[in-house]
Chain A
Amino acid sequence: MANADERPEDPRRSQRLDGRTAIITGAARGQGRSHAIRLAELGANLVLVDVCADLPLIPYRQPERSQLDDTARAAREAGAEVRTVVADVRDAAAMSDAAMLAVGELGGIDIVIANAGVIQLKAATEIRPEDWAAVIDINLTGTWNTIAPTIAPMIDQGRGGTIIITSSAAGLKGPPNMAHYAASKSGVIGMMRSLSTELGPHSIRVNCVAPTTVDTEMVHWPEAYALFRPDLESPGRDDVTDIFASLNVLPVPWIQPADVTEAVAFLASDRSRYITGTVLPVDAGTLVK
């Protein structure tokens, strides 16, 4: 037992990420930006990736280059060494370059946060082959493109690692009007499980977070409001809060990016050193409802 004169040992495992390097996709705004700034505060160095351009078929604005730069500036102010990459996660060669940038300039890869993703809200009868392909290519194949080139370097480094994929409550439940999105978000869970068993022997952990609706640009666009409130002529944010709240058990319509970041930071750190192969919902209870 501790002597009264000495401070007892702190039983807490550190949340710090000093000296580690993370690759984060979709980092220009929203959840990705929140993850980036938090990881920088915790001591990580960052490769930040975003497409920084509007995308055909995706019904809401994508971020601009200046927003990726804003994320990078905030991360540097928090003390991080940062590289930015403007790339579409569908471009496997560009994603390989992003991984090599981390290896070549930031000392390796310890954390991969495959966060970039898009949504369309369409009835199944309206989803055209090109819609299906866009959502699957970005959300599922883009996640693969993000992770695949990091695996060999992480194995070679021999110091383990942690891969965190942004799935969705829609990957575990079946909300209507997003068959392609739900398929992509279920798909990354299958990918995660397979990678967790395959990479576990190398002490590389692989997990998903599964958020409910998050208060970002991905949710707040006019056609989305119209789909949820066909009874109103030009519905706004306030017109959909009750509907979104009804999807959750906890009395909130949506959660904040920072709430997902808490789960991501936990999974990124040694606090979760023996957690792998799991889906961590941050979902206000929508999955249990």
Chain B
Amino acid sequence: MSADEGSSERPLAGRIAVVTGAARGQGRSHAVRLAADGAAVIAIDLCAAPATTEYDGSTRADLDETVAMVESLGAGCVGLSVDVRNLSLLSGAIEQGLGTIGDERARHVDIMVANAGIAGGAPIELMAAEAWQEMIDINLTGVWNSVKAVIPSMLANPRLPANGGSGTASVVLISSANGGLKAPPNLTHYAAAKHGVVGMMRSLANELGARGIRVNTVHPTAVDTRLIHNDFTYRLFRPDLESPGREDVVELFRSFHSLPIPWIDSSDVSEAVAFLASDASRYITGITMTVDAGLSAR
């Protein structure tokens, strides 16, 4: 185990991060990125398909691979399969995770990355009430549950000034550029949830700032993951084609951006998450950080 204090090579050494939605995609990337900076990781994922999503769910094998990737970087890791919609199970899982990794002196959450989320889309006349409800339950209430579940541990963190330390704890909520700052058609549930995360972040930033907990949102544009790369999304964007594929949506996605790219990589979001998680941003709270190739400024 590395030293308690971070170095320039491992600035998060001795810290514990919780990442939800960690089995694959952005969440896996964040877990691995924070581990490379030295953090131990509690990796949480549903490891199943929600009822209303139109693409494959994650699996326990996916989560196990994330754990293996984190461990290969020399960081402690525990993977726990739990639904962010269930606050009591989530709280229990984080307690269990804290008991498993780190040494006894350092069993407090330093970093919370609330990343778990689903995507979907339909005109309001066709959107099922169940789809609305599941979106709000996972992408909004699930984020609140995730913060709620780590707050007891965070508030007791000895790194905070209130507990005699001189550091901060960092909560990073993953919103969206398209859903959280803009609001294109056919995304009523997604936009409501992702805008809601911003309001939650702002209130929490005001509430927790004096106690040394920073709270910010990250707003990615389309990321090259299963969330956009699935047949349902392809058909949503190219209703003119019978069986559209990845290549059929490149130009359309590129047209959303100022930079000449159709989508970004998970690792691009992870760099922003790592920045907000670290002391490099010790005086940054309450901000909406975009990683969106210029989408929201257009």
Please list the residues of chain A having a beta carbon within 8 angstroms of any beta carbon in chain B: 1-2, 8, 10-13, 193, 196-197, 199-201, 203, 205, 212, 248-252, 255, 259, 262-263, 266, 271-278, 280-285, 287-289
Q: A13, B202: Cβ atoms under 8 Å?
A: no
Min CB distance, B272 to chain A, in Å? 7
Q: Which of B68, B280, B284, B297 contacts A277 (CB 8 A)?
A: B297
Other A-B pairs beyond A1-B72, A277-B297, 6, CB < 8 Å: A1-B65, A8-B73, A248-B209, A249-B285, A275-B290, A278-B297
Q: B294, A200: Cβ atoms under 8 Å?
A: yes
Q: B206, A277: Cβ atoms under 8 Å?
A: no
Q: Interface stretch among B32-40, B41-49, B104-112, B245-253?
A: B32-40
Q: Please tell me the size bucket of the interface on B.
A: 35 or more
B286 CB–A CB distance under 8 Å: yes
Q: A197, B285: Cβ atoms under 8 Å?
A: no
Min CB distance, B287 to chain A, in Å? 5
Q: How many angstroms between the C-alpha atoms of A196 and B289 in the bound complex? A: 16
Q: Which of B65, B202, B260, B290 contacts A201 (CB 8 A)?
A: B260
Min CB distance, B213 to chain A, in Å? 10
Q: A200, B287: Cβ atoms under 8 Å?
A: no
Q: A271, B286: Cβ atoms under 8 Å?
A: no
- Classify the interface of chain A: helix, strand, loop or mixed: loop
Q: A250, B259: Cβ atoms under 8 Å?
A: no
Contact A250 B296, CB 8 Å, known A11-B32, A278-B290, A289-B206: no
Please list the residues of chain B having a beta carbon within 8 angstroms of any beta carbon in chain A: 29, 32-33, 36-37, 65, 68-69, 72-73, 161, 168, 202, 205-206, 209-210, 212, 214, 221, 257-261, 264, 267-268, 270-272, 274-275, 280-287, 289-298
Min CB distance, B128 to chain A, in Å? 34
Q: A276, B281: Cβ atoms under 8 Å?
A: no
Q: B259, A200: Cβ atoms under 8 Å?
A: yes
Q: B258, A201: Cβ atoms under 8 Å?
A: yes
The 6 sampled A-B contact pairs (Cβ below 8 Å) are A1-B72, A8-B72, A201-B258, A277-B294, A278-B296, A287-B286
Residue of A nearest to B295 (CB): A277
Residue of A nearest to B297 (CB): A277
Query: Which residues of A sit under 8 angstroms from B280, Cβ to Cβ?
Result: 262-263, 266
Query: Which residues of A sit under 8 angstroms from B36, Cβ to Cβ?
Result: 10-12
Interface centre among A11, A252, A263 (most CB of B within 10 A): A11
- Closest A-B pairs by Cβ, 4 of them: A200-B258, A288-B286, A277-B297, A249-B209
